[in-house]
């Protein structure tokens, strides 16, 4: 007869992933009641901890509600039908913190019978699900790989203000706030500050949220997302920036392959191979290609979502690449700080910039390029974009003092995570998403 213990034991805690090393031994597990069954005197508890699931079997137990946190002391036995091939025969069972009511969603079953909005309404609980947790684990490793690789290449991590007096990219997609009686905004990008910091460290990066007051209601947009920003000085042109991102993505995928294989298997996702040289195509040629090959007329100044999908399809079929750089964006589709491309005679182009986007599996995941570093050219560009130079004085001042040629890019962490894992809606690649309709939880 299994006894319920009221006091904790002093065995060291064992995680589910380490059970194989303790076959036949007594262990102490702690975690959550993932699922439970009572078969007339024999109780089964599936315990979930940070490393996975363990089936625990005992008798004479009073089982708490699912999601209660519990402690199990028992003996590890090999069992071919148990998760991970081992189960724990319970000797002592202790409820650490009991759930006071049933969870609003059955975590083991929610993927096939829960409305997507319900999953977000009860996110404080549903985020405990195995697949939801797997996506966030992949994103955490992705961000760690981003940091580690850039540090290896001589980059310094910085932290820039998220309350600003003006937008980095202009336009109306800013969240206004009252800053002690003065108008201010939530930062839509660290762009202007990371350029300034190139004058300090030459190579910088930041991992931080950004805010876009865009009234999108699509599967690819968030109003708050995690931006992975990079800026580097003393470049020749935008090719140096694209080469850096090429190396960075290869390092990220290697890290995910080494550390997140179980998560990719759980989600049925496949890691992409990053080519040694990601294909490149100019925006003008890309628009022509999708029109001529697929009959899709591209509207606007950029590529629309269908054109992005078709262009990626083309490169997947013809070159086996899930990635493609789209280059030479027109000034009308780029912010004021984008460096103009050079005409054949070496003079600055009035039409094209050295800006690029990176597409991955049918969607843009990066925007980047070379920036203007010459003070006079920058002031001319601000005037051409009809921006107020006084509101940008704190930024433009540094360009009077010898800023080197520089460029960079930004990756949306949630969007990249979603495309890597086949998650249809980017909101499920963030623990607590913010979109135009959601401020809670």
Q: How many residues does the chain have?
A: 441
Query: Is-catalytic flag, 375?
Result: no
8 Å CB contact between 378 and 339: no
Q: Which of 364, 373, 381, 406 is catalytic?
A: 364
Phi, psi of 383 (to 5 degrees): -65, -40
Residue 58 marked as a ligand binder? no
Report the distance separating Cα 130 and Cα 31, nearest Å.
13
8 Å CB contact between 249 and 276: no
Neighbours of 45 (CB within 10 A): 27
Strand partners, 227: 208, 412
Q: Which of 5, 153, 214, 306 is catalytic?
A: 214
User: Cα-atom radius of gyration of the chain, to the nearest Å?
Assistant: 26
Structure tokens at 67: 């999601």
Query: Is-catalytic flag, 367?
Result: yes
Query: Is-catalytic flag, 309?
Result: no
Residue 430 marked as a ligand binder? no
Residue 427 marked as a ligand binder? no
8 Å CB contact between 104 and 125: yes
Residue 36 marked as a ligand binder? no
Residue 221 marked as a ligand binder? yes
8 Å CB contact between 384 and 335: no
Report the distance separating Cα 197 and Cα 211, nearest Å.
21
Neighbours of 240 (CB within 10 A): 15
Q: Which residue do the tokens 């950029």 mark?
A: 302
Residue 413 marked as a ligand binder? yes
Report the distance separating Cα 234 and Cα 226, nearest Å.
27
Report the distance separating Cα 432 and Cα 136, nearest Å.
11
Residue 414 marked as a ligand binder? yes
Query: Is-catalytic flag, 438?
Result: no
Q: Which of 34, 48, 123, 220 is catalytic?
A: 220
Residue 217 marked as a ligand binder? no
Report the distance separating Cα 251 and Cα 74, nearest Å.
41
Instruction: Give the burial class of 154: count Cβ atoms within 10 A of its Cβ; 0-12 exposed, 13-18 middle, 19 or more buried.
Output: exposed
Q: Which of 212, 296, 309, 339 is catalytic?
A: 212
Within 234-362, strands assigned E span: 280-282, 323-327, 340-342, 348-353, 355-360
Query: Is-catalytic flag, 212?
Result: yes
Q: Which of 28, 123, 149, 221 is catalytic?
A: 221
Q: Which of 227, 321, 367, 381 is catalytic?
A: 367
Residue 141 marked as a ligand binder? no
Report the distance separating Cα 123 and Cα 140, nearest Å.
18
- Whether the bond into 441 is cis, omega within 30 of 0: yes
CA atoms in the 13 A half-sphere facing the CB of 97: 5
Report the distance separating Cα 422 and Cα 262, nearest Å.
15
Q: Which of 331, 361, 415, 427 is catalytic?
A: 415
Residue 169 marked as a ligand binder? yes
Query: Is-catalytic flag, 415?
Result: yes
Query: Is-catalytic flag, 220?
Result: yes
Binding residue numbers = 169, 212-214, 220-222, 364, 367, 371, 412-415
Binding residue numbers for ATP = 212-214, 220-222, 364, 412-415
Binding residue numbers for L-aspartate = 169, 212, 367, 371
Active-site residue list: 212, 214, 220-221, 364, 367, 415
């Amino acid at each position: 007869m299994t006894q319920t213990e009221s006091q904790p034991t002093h065995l060291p805690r064992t995680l589910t992933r380490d059970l194989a090393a303790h076959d036949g031994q007594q262990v102490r597990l702690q975690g959550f009641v993932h699922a439970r069954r009572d078969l007339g005197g024999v109780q089964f508890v599936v315990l979930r901890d940070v490393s996975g699931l363990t089936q625990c079997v005992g008798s004479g137990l009073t089982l708490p509600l699912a999601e209660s946190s519990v402690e199990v002391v028992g003996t590890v036995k090999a069992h071919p039908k148990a998760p991970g091939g081992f189960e724990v025969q319970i000797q002592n069972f202790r409820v650490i913190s009991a759930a006071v009511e049933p969870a609003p969603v059955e975590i083991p079953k929610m993927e096939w019978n829960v409305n997507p909005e319900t999953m977000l309404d009860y996110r404080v609980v549903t985020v405990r699900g195995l697949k939801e947790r797997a996506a966030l684990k992949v994103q955490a490793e992705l961000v760690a790989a981003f940091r580690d690789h850039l540090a290896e290449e001589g980059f310094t991590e910085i932290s820039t203000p998220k309350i600003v007096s003006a937008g980095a990219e202009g336009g109306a997609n800013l969240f206004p706030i009252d800053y002690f009686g003065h108008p201010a905004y939530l930062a839509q990008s660290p762009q202007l500050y990371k350029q300034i910091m190139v004058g300090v460290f030459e190579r910088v990066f930041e991992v931080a949220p950004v805010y876009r007051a865009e009234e999108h209601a699509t599967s690819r947009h968030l109003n708050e997302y995690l931006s992975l920003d990079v800026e580097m000085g003393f470049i020749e042109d935008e090719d140096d920036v694209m080469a850096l991102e090429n190396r960075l993505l290869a390092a990220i995928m290697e890290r995910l392959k080494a550390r997140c294989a179980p998560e990719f298997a759980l989600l049925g996702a496949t890691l992409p191979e990053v080519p040694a040289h990601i294909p490149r195509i100019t925006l003008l040629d890309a628009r022509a290609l999708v029109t001529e090959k697929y009959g899709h007329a591209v509207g606007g100044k950029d590529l629309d979502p269908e054109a992005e999908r078709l262009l990626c399809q083309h490169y997947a079929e013809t070159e086996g690449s899930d990635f493609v750089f789209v280059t030479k964006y027109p000034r009308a589709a780029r912010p004021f700080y984008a460096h103009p491309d050079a005409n054949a005679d070496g003079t600055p182009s009035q039409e094209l910039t050295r800006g690029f986007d990176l597409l991955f599996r049918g969607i843009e995941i990066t925007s980047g390029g070379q920036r203007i570093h010459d003070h006079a050219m920058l002031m001319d560009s601000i005037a051409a974009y009809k921006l107020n130079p006084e509101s940008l004085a704190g930024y433009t001042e540094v360009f009077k003092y010898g800023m080197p040629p520089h460029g960079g890019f930004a990756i949306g962490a949630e969007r990249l995570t979603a495309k890597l894992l086949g998650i249809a809606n980017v909101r499920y690649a963030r623990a607590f998403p913010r979109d135009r309709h959601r401020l809670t939880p």
